[in-house]
Structure 1
C-alpha cells in the first residue's frame, strides 16, 4: 500500500463505488477522473479516494469535493473534464450539483430529492426486527 504525501494537495475528490453507483459506471468514472487528473499533471494537487456507499443512491454516481464539501449527482465519464475544470477555477459544476455546504449544514439543489432522515431509517430497521 502506498502512503501519499498530501502536503501539496488542495482538493480531495471522493468517488462513490457502492453497489448502486457501480451498476451505472462508477468504476469507469473513477478511472476517467484519475486519468484527467494525471493528464493535467494535477496528481499532487487533487487526491482521489474510491469510497463505498455514500447514502445517496438515488443520485448515482455520487462524487464529493472537499474542502468545499460539495456533493454532485449523476456524474458520468462525459462530465469529467468540465468537473475537474470547475474545481480548478473554484466554481461548482452546477449541471450536476446535488448539495452545497454553507457552514451550518447542506443546502439541497433544486430538483434533488430530500431522502430519509437517518433517525427514521434506524427506527424503521429496529421496528422491522422487533415486529
Structure 2
C-alpha cells in the first residue's frame, strides 16, 4: 500500500451529462451544470487555487446519480453534493474547499 499524497488537494467533477427525449431520466446537463462548472472554475482561478497540487475543476460524463442531481463529487474525499445555483457552488467552495468542512445541506 502506498502512502503517496494525491496530486490535487481537491479534484472536483461536475456531471455534465445531457439526455435527449421526452421520457428520459433527469440529467445534470439540463439542470444548470455548465453554468455551475464555469462559475466554479472562474472562482477557483480568482482565489489562486488553480495550480498543480491545489484544486482542479473538471467536467464529467454521467456520474449515475441522476435523480439526485445536478451533482458534483470532490476527491480524494469522495464527497457528493447537489446544488441549485451558483450560490450553492460558492458555499461548497467556501465551506468544503477553503474551510475543510462538509456542507451538510447539500451533501448526498
Give TM-score scaled by structure 2 length: 0.78
Report the Cα distance in structure 2 between the residues aligned to 1:21 and 1:50, rounded to whole angstroms: 11
Of 49, 61, 64, which aligns to 1:52? Answer: 61
What stretches of structure 1 of length at least 5 have no aligned partner? 1-5, 99-131
Q: What is the correspondence of 1:44-123 to structure 2 with a 5 Å cutoff?
A: 44=51, 45-86=54-95, 87-98=97-108
Which has the larger helix fraction? 1
Consecutive aligned runs of 4 or more in structure 1 exceeding 4 Å deviation: none
Aligned to 1:11: 10
Cα deviation code 1:28-86 (max 9, x no counterpart): 01101101101111101101110011001111110001111100123421212211112
Report the Cα distance in structure 2 between the residues aligned to 1:73 and 1:82, rounded to whole angstroms: 12
Q: How many equivalent pairs are there? A: 92
Rg larger in 1 or in 2? Answer: 1
Report the Cα distance in structure 1 between the residues aligned to 2:59 and 2:32, rounded to whole angstroms: 13
Report 1 or 2 for greater relative contact order, CA contacts < 8 Å, sequence distance ≥ 6.
2
